[in-house]
A and B are shown apart, each in its own frame.
Chain A
Amino acid sequence: MLNVYQPVWVKIKTIKQEAKNIKLFALEFLDEKTAKDFVFTPGQIIEVGLPGFGEAPLAICSASQEKNFFEIAVRAMGQLTERLHQLQVGDKIMVRGPFGRGFLDTKEKNVLLVVGGLGIVPSRSFILSQISQKLGDKIAIFYGAHSPEELLFKNEFSQWQKNGVKIYLTVDQKGKNWTGAVGPVTALLDNLSKKNITVPSKIIAMLCGPMAMYGSAIAKLRQNNFSEQNIYLSLERRMYCGVGICQHCAIGPKYVCKDGPVFPWSEIKDIYNAI
C-alpha cells in the first residue's frame, strides 16, 4: 500500500541568499521517474524535512512548467529552517507532496495578486507559471513588505514587467533610497480605478500573505465589486500529515492541507476564525 508519509530525497542544485534570513533553494530529484511524477499547481504545498529535524509545510515558488528543478524559499526561524540554511549545494533534503489545492487555473482571466511578506513565495510560482504561458499581461500585483530590503525577488521584477506584469510595491518602513509607496499593502486597494486597474467581471483577486492582511483586503475588494467567488486566499496552518488526518489544520468542516491551502472566500467566509 502507498505510504503517504514517505519522503523522497532531492538534491540542492543552487542556493541564493534572497534577503536577510531568506534563502532560495533550487532542488532536483535524484531519478527521472520521481521528477516526472512531481506535478504541482502554483499555491500547493510540500512537506520539507531533514532526518532529526522533522518536517514543515512550505510553498513551492517556481513555475509549474519547469521540469528540471523546483524552488522553495526558506526563512530561518526554527530548528529545521536554520539547519536548512546551513546546507550547501549538493546536500540533500527530504520532500513529500505536493498537497492540496493551489491557485485555480485562471487562463484568460485577469488576476490581481494582493501579497504581503512571505506570501510572495507561492505568488511567484503563479506569476512564473503564467509568464511561461504568455499570460503575464493578465497579472497585476500589489506587494507589500516590511522594508525595501525584505522585498523578495526584486531582481526579477524587470523581467516580470517585460512580460506584462504590472507591479505596485509598498513598504512599512522606507529606507534611504525608497521613493515608492509607504503603508500597508491593503492601502493600494484604495482608488483602484486611478491605478488603471479596472474591475470587469473577468478579474480575480488572489490574496497571499499574513492573516492580519486578509480582513481589510477582502473588505476593500468587496467595495470594489469583487464577488466573494472571485476572491481567493491562501491559508496557513500547522500541519503534520498533509492528507487531512492529523487535524491540526482543520478549519470548520475543511482541511487546509487537503481542501486548501487556496480557498475561494465564498467557501470559507462563514467559518469561524478561518482568517
Chain B
Amino acid sequence: MTETSFKKLLLNLEKNGYKIIAPQTRDGEVVIDQLPAQQAAAINFTQQPFYSFKKFFIPPAEGLFYFSGQSIEPTVDDTKLALIGLSTLDLLAINLWRQVFERDVYWQERFKNVILIGMGSAPSDKKIFNLWEANYEENILEHVQFDVFLLRQGKEWAIFSGTRLGQKILDDFGYADYQHIQFAGLIKEEGVDPSIREIYRKLKLMKPTDKMWQDLGRRCIACGKCTIACPTCFCFDAEDKILDDKKIIRQRCWSSCFYPEFSEIAGQKVFLSTIAEKIYFWYYHKFVRIFEEYSIPGCVGCGRCARVCPVGIDIGQVLADIKNNQKP
C-alpha cells in the first residue's frame, strides 16, 4: 500500500460517513483529533500522543438518560468513527475495556460504530519498563483486536486484517494483498509474562503502611493527573444535570481514586484517607484486581503517568521496587 492508496482508503471511509480520527502534530505536540482524509499524510504514528484514544471510547462526560416527566430516555450516540493510527498499546487498552464494559450497553453501542485501523513500525526488541516483553508486533497482533493493521517494514507496508469488517473494508477498497490474523485470545501461548505475575503476587501481599508506600505517599500530591493520562483508568461518577430546556440528563464522568470524595460515604467517612492508601489503591487496581478479574494487567506500559507526574513518580521504578520487595 502506498501513501496515495492509504489516502484513498481513508477518503472511502469518510465517504461512508465515518469521522476520521488520527494522531497529528499540532504546535509541536501529538494530539488525537479529527483529520480530513485529504490530509492522511499528516498522520503521526511514530510518536506517542500526549493523551491516548481513551476519550473516544470513554468520554470524559457521557449522558446515560434524559428525564422528562415520567419519561426515562436512554441516550443514543451513533457517531461513526474511524480511529486511525492506533498503536499496539492502544489496542491493549481496548482489550481491557472490552472486558470491563462487557455488560455496559453504552460502551458496547459506541464500539459497534468504531473502525479500528492500527499502525506500527517494524518489530523492536523493546521491553516495557525493562520488565516485560513486548517485542514483535506480529506476535502481539494475534492477541489484540483491530479491523486493519498497517505495519511499516522499512519503506513497505504490510497489511493485516483482524476482523471480517477489516476484510470487507480492504476488499471494498479493492486491496487484495493483505493477510488475515486470527485473534488467539488475550493471553499469549506461553502464558502471562513472569514479571507481571511476580508484581501481582508481591503487591497483593503488601500494605499501604509498608515503607515503600509510605515513601510514595509522601512524594505523591494526589493531583490525579496520572489517572487522566492513563489509557486504562476508567473509574466514573454519575450526576444529574438540569438542561436549559428543563430536561434532566444523568451523566457519568471520569473520576479519580486520588480525589477526596472518591471513597467518601454518608457521615464524611473516607476509606482512602491517606495519600499512601490512594496510590496503593491505584497500583493495586491495575496489577492485582484487574489481573484477578481478567488475567491481564491493567497497564499497557505506555508510561504516560510518569510523563505527567509533577513530582516525578516513575511507574517503571515503582514496579521494579514491588518486584524486588523482600516480603515473601
- Chain A interface residues toward B at CB < 8 A: 1-7, 9, 51-55, 77-78, 92, 94, 211, 236-238, 240-241, 243, 245-248, 250, 252-253, 272-273
Give 6 new A-B contacts, CB below 8 A, not counting A51-B250, A77-B267, A250-B281: A6-B65, A51-B67, A237-B271, A245-B100, A246-B252, A247-B285
For residue B262, CB closer than 8 A to chain A, the reply is yes
6 example contacts (A-B, Cβ-Cβ < 8 A) are as follows: A240-B238, A246-B238, A250-B285, A253-B289, A272-B208, A273-B277
- Whether A53 contacts B240 by the Cβ 8 Å rule is yes
Please give me the residue from chain A that is nearest to B102 by CB atom.
Answer: A245
B204 nearest CB across to chain A (Å): 8
For residue B108, CB closer than 8 A to chain A, the reply is yes
Given known A52-B67, A92-B70, A273-B277, contact A246–B108 (CB-CB < 8 A): no
Question: Helix, strand, loop or mixed for chain A's interface?
Answer: loop
Please give me the residue from chain A that is nearest to B66 by CB atom.
Answer: A51
- Whether A248 contacts B250 by the Cβ 8 Å rule is no
- Whether A238 contacts B265 by the Cβ 8 Å rule is yes
- Whether A51 contacts B285 by the Cβ 8 Å rule is no
* List of A residues within 8 angstroms of B263 by Cβ: 237-238, 248
Please give me the residue from chain B that is nearest to A30 by CB atom.
Answer: B70
- Whether A243 contacts B239 by the Cβ 8 Å rule is no
* List of B residues within 8 angstroms of A246 by Cβ: 235-238, 252, 255
- Whether B264 contacts A52 by the Cβ 8 Å rule is no
Please give me the residue from chain B that is nearest to A238 by CB atom.
Answer: B265
- Whether A248 contacts B252 by the Cβ 8 Å rule is no
- Whether A245 contacts B277 by the Cβ 8 Å rule is no
Given known A9-B70, A250-B289, contact A54–B240 (CB-CB < 8 A): yes
A133 nearest CB across to chain B (Å): 32
Q: How many A-B residue pairs have CB under 8 A?
A: 98
- Chain B interface residues toward A at CB < 8 A: 64-65, 67, 70, 72, 74, 100-101, 103-106, 108-109, 204, 207-209, 234-240, 242, 248, 250, 252, 255, 257, 261-267, 269, 271-272, 277, 280-281, 284-285, 288-289, 292-293
Given known A51-B67, A237-B263, contact A2–B105 (CB-CB < 8 A): yes
Other-chain contact of B109, A1, A2, A250 (Cβ < 8 Å): A1
A207 nearest CB across to chain B (Å): 17
Other-chain contact of A7, B72, B100, B261 (Cβ < 8 Å): B72
CA distance A2 to B209 in the complex (A): 42
- Whether A4 contacts B103 by the Cβ 8 Å rule is yes
CA distance A243 to B236 in the complex (A): 12
* List of B residues within 8 angstroms of A238 by Cβ: 261-265
* List of B residues within 8 angstroms of A1 by Cβ: 105, 108-109
- Whether A5 contacts B65 by the Cβ 8 Å rule is yes
Other-chain contact of B252, A6, A94, A240, A247 (Cβ < 8 Å): A240
- Whether B285 contacts A273 by the Cβ 8 Å rule is no
A53 nearest CB across to chain B (Å): 6
